[in-house]
Structure 1
Amino acid sequence: MKLELGNFHVKDVRFGDTTHYAEGILTINKEEAIAHVMEDEHITHADIFIARPGEEKRIVPVKEAMEPRCRVNGKAVFPGVTGEVASCGDGRTHALKNTSVLAVGKHWGSFGDGLIDMSGEGANYSYFSTLINICLVADTDEEFERHEQQKKNKALRWGAMRLSEYLGNAVKDMEPETMETYELEPVSKKADDVAKLPSVVYVMQPQSQMEELGYNDLVYGWDANRMLPTFMHPNEILDGAMISGSFMPCSSKWSTYDFMNNPTIKELYANHGKTVNFLGVIMSNLNVALEQKERAALFVSNMAKHLGADGAILAEEGYGNPDADFIACYAALEDAGVKVVGMTNECTGRDGQSQPLVTLDEKANAIVSCGNVSQLIELPPMKEVIGELAALGRDGLSGGWAGDEKLGPSVREDGSIIMENNSMFCGDQVSGWSKKTMKEF
């Protein structure tokens, strides 16, 4: 499998008469772009705003993010979702780098939505403050979930994917400015010098806890709650096979953008044949019942063992109940002789004094912490809000609240906010972006 990612490095995004890309500038015909979004009859209103790094802008409630791309062969960027089910990870895909398309609620937020600040202290908490964000701000007629704390957000998520493909097509027939090539030989056909290196597999646990379909991450359009652990080529993840869901406190979330640009996969590629023999990705799942958790851990450990893995990087999307899956998988891998490094965040309470994970095991002795979801964050007002700031405290965003006896409301009258890290959009960046560190006192 050989994936070529042709990159176009965007310096700015503007509105104009036609949608095109030239000399680092992406120009968008807003009316035409919105027409693609409005193809869904459930979307009642849509607009597009631009948020650049350093601008005094706050974006909330953010539901999803993806990179604008097109597949040169004309097939869907997100197979099984925006087009027919078809293998991906092979061939050429063009990408508009330094940008993302954000799905943002015009009014109503939910448990899995978050906040992005484009400047100030808040910008340090989310990777997306470093990108030029093309914000699709929209509302829908989905009354059945308008006031629900947990929303599927399907119309807005799918609308953002259509917008992403529309923008990506601006560079479909152009020659890329730079090219990334990802090629990984089959497990059984490694060169001798590569096969002698420590063999490593990347185990991903995307969110799949909801038994009702429509909330979970998708694999080629298939709800991850329905799947058992599966071996995948890393190129598939980088090339649109994985779509983010809408169920997860937001700092723990892996957006579709995170799947498409997964830093851990890229780092393993960079070291393949040098310090490690990168075998590929085991795409696992997160479950509710204990028996399901144990079964998934068994599948993962057996798969890793038979692939010949010496080591594994294990990452979970979430915290709380998923910690049991994380630790069960960790212990099963260690019992199979596979040395594990775990990547996750913690829920240690606002004071940082609580147990970091719901369950622990002595075998889990090498874990990279990506932050505390309950950490309190206070931020000053921003000049402009894209979306609706009231959603943070009103609509059950996992890190916000309408009122607190000691702290008051999350959204204050002057526009300043206090909230838990939980509400930072993909803030803990367990996929590998995180720049957080630990301090000793």
Structure 2
Amino acid sequence: MKLEVGNFFVKDVLFGSETSFQNGILTIDKEEALQVVRQDDHITDVDLVIAKPGDPIRIIPVKEAIEPRCKVSGGVMFPGALNKLAPAGSGRTHVLKGSCVLAVGKHWGGFQDGLIDMSGPGAERTMFSQLIHICLVADTDEEFERYEQQKRNKALRWAGMRLAEYIGQCVKNREPEEMEIYDLPAIDKRSAEVNQLPGVVYVLQLQSQMLENGYNALVYGWDTNHMVPTLIHPNELLDGAVISGSFMPCSSKISTYQHVNNATIKRLMKEHGKTINFLGVILTNLNVQLEEKNRSALFVRHIATTLGAKGAVVCEEGYGNPDADFIAVINELEDAGIRVVGITNECTGRDGRSQSLVDLSEKANAIVSTGNVSELLKLPPMEIVIGELEALARDGNSGGWEGCVKEDGSIEMENNGMFCSDGNTGEFIKTVVEL
């Protein structure tokens, strides 16, 4: 399967009379873009605001991040979710690198929503401070979930995907500045030299704890709570087959932007044929019942052993209850003779002294930590707030609490509430060190 990703590097984003890209400048026809957003009648109030690295801007509550891109050939964007069901991972996709669409609540946030600072000490806490954002700031008529701690946020999240695809269309017929080629052949088509290298699988544990549809990660539009572990080609993930869910403390969440830019997969692809034989991606879920956890871990083991894997990288989305799935998969793979490296964040309390994972095992002896979700942050006031700062304290944000927003606009919060800041898919540098 061959995927061509054509990159156009965005240096600045402006509003103008037409949506276009020229000499590094992305210009957006604001009214036309808003018409795309308003295709959903549930959007009642909406605006677009641009936020750039270094700006004195705080964005809260952030619900989703999507990279502007479009399919040139070989399928559709966000298949089975935004668009019709079709295969992902082949043909050509054009991408506006360095830009990002953020879905932001105008007022109402929730457990799963996060904060981004574009400058100051908070900007060091998330990779999203390094991108130019087209902030889709909206309110909806989804009154049934307004006062709920956990929200589907469907109207806003789907509007973000529509907007990202609309913006991406402006480079559909352009020649990209850079072309990335992801060409991983079928296992039976690989050379004898490649097949002699140690086989490695990537196991991505997607958030799927909610029983009701609409909260969990989606694979080709299918709710991951209802799936069993599934083998996919890495190109499919890099081409939009997986959509982020709306349930997860925000620092631990993997946004749709991060799925299509999964740095661990890109590194495994780079090492294929040199140091490893990359066998594919096993998507698995993080359900609540013990029987479901054990079943999924067993399925992961069977897929990996059937492929002949000698090594695995296991990435966990979340912490707490999902730690049991994380350790169960590591135990099963290690028992099968497959060496595992795990990637996860930790929940060690504000003083860093608590047990890092809910479940532990001596077999989990090679773990990459992406930080402590409970780390206490004190951030100064910011000149501009996009969205509503009070949402951090009022709406059950996983990193905020009543009184965490001070009169001068400064805040205290846990890392929990920094938008996708732990970067378990490998895009960020934050980790834990022993002092």
Q: The TM-score by the shorter chain falls in which range?
A: over 0.9
Deviation at 1:436, TM superposition (A): 2.1
From 409, 416, 419, give the equivalent of 2:410.
416
Find the residue that maps to 1:333 and give its secondary structure: helix
Find the residue that maps to 1:79 and give its secondary structure: coil
Deviation at 1:375, TM superposition (A): 0.4
5 Å-filtered alignment, 1:310-329, equals: 310-329=310-329
5 Å-filtered alignment, 1:69-218, equals: 69-73=69-73, 75-218=75-218
5 Å-filtered alignment, 1:7-22, equals: 7-22=7-22
Equivalent AA in structure 1 for residue 15 of structure 2: F
Equivalent AA in structure 2 for residue 277 of structure 1: N
> Are the equivalent residues in 1 in contact too, given 2:103–2:157 (CA < 8 A)?
yes
Aligned-partner Cα distance in 1 for 2:294–2:177: 47
Aligned-partner Cα distance in 2 for 1:321–1:344: 13
Equivalent AA in structure 1 for residue 96 of structure 2: L
Deviation at 1:83, TM superposition (A): 1.1
Equivalent AA in structure 1 for residue 413 of structure 2: M
Aligned-partner Cα distance in 1 for 2:67–2:311: 31
5 Å-filtered alignment, 1:427-438, equals: 427-438=421-432
Find the residue that maps to 1:206 and give its secondary structure: strand
Partner of 1:224: 224
Equivalent AA in structure 1 for residue 139 of structure 2: D
Alignment: residue pair count: 435
Partner of 1:405: none
Question: C-alpha offsets along residues 163-208 of structure 1, whole Å, 9 cap, x if unaligned?
Answer: 0010000001111111000010112222111111111100000101
Question: C-alpha offsets along residues 254-301 of structure 1, whole Å, 9 cap, x if unaligned?
Answer: 000000100000011111111111111000111111010000000001
Aligned-partner Cα distance in 1 for 2:277–2:190: 9
Aligned-partner Cα distance in 2 for 1:84–1:414: 48
Find the residue that maps to 2:286 and give its secondary structure: coil
- Is 1:270 the counterpart of 2:270? The answer is yes
Partner of 1:377: 377
- Is 1:26 the counterpart of 2:23? The answer is no
> Are the equivalent residues in 1 in contact too, given 2:345–2:424 (CA < 8 A)?
yes
> Are the equivalent residues in 2 in contact too, given 1:76–1:82 (CA < 8 A)?
no
Q: 1:420 to 1:281 in 2, by over 3 A?
A: same
Partner of 1:440: 434
Aligned-partner Cα distance in 1 for 2:196–2:46: 55
Partner of 1:46: 46
Equivalent AA in structure 1 for residue 284 of structure 2: S
> Are the equivalent residues in 2 in contact too, given 1:75–1:83 (CA < 8 A)?
no
- Is 1:387 the counterpart of 2:387? The answer is yes
5 Å-filtered alignment, 1:294-309, equals: 294-309=294-309
Find the residue that maps to 1:284 and give its secondary structure: strand
Partner of 1:252: 252
> Are the equivalent residues in 1 in contact too, given 2:46–2:138 (CA < 8 A)?
yes
With 188-197 and 213-222 compared, the bigger mean Cα shift is at: 188-197
With 181-190 and 302-311 compared, the bigger mean Cα shift is at: 181-190
> Are the equivalent residues in 1 in contact too, given 2:126–2:421 (CA < 8 A)?
yes
> Are the equivalent residues in 1 in contact too, given 2:370–2:432 (CA < 8 A)?
no
Partner of 1:331: 331
| % same residue | 66
Aligned-partner Cα distance in 2 for 1:34–1:8: 23
Deviation at 1:75, TM superposition (A): 4.9
Find the residue that maps to 1:374 and give its secondary structure: coil
Question: C-alpha offsets along residues 131-177 of structure 1, whole Å, 9 cap, x if unaligned?
Answer: 00110000000000011100000000000000001000000111111
Deviation at 1:78, TM superposition (A): 0.6
Partner of 1:288: 288
Equivalent AA in structure 2 for residue 263 of structure 1: A
Aligned-partner Cα distance in 2 for 1:13–1:434: 24
Equivalent AA in structure 1 for residue 110 of structure 2: S
Aligned-partner Cα distance in 1 for 2:138–2:74: 27
> Are the equivalent residues in 1 in contact too, given 2:284–2:300 (CA < 8 A)?
yes
Equivalent AA in structure 2 for residue 430 of structure 1: N
Equivalent AA in structure 2 for residue 346 of structure 1: E
> Are the equivalent residues in 1 in contact too, given 2:62–2:105 (CA < 8 A)?
yes
Equivalent AA in structure 1 for residue 282 of structure 2: I
Find the residue that maps to 2:285 and give its secondary structure: coil
Find the residue that maps to 2:340 and give its secondary structure: strand
Deviation at 1:64, TM superposition (A): 0.2
In the alignment, structure 1 segments of 5+ residues that lack a partner are 403-408
Q: 1:229 to 1:74 in 2, by over 3 A?
A: closer
TM-score by length of 2: 0.99
Deviation at 1:74, TM superposition (A): 8.5
Question: C-alpha offsets along residues 91-149 of structure 1, whole Å, 9 cap, x if unaligned?
Answer: 00000000110000000001100000011111111111010011000000000001110
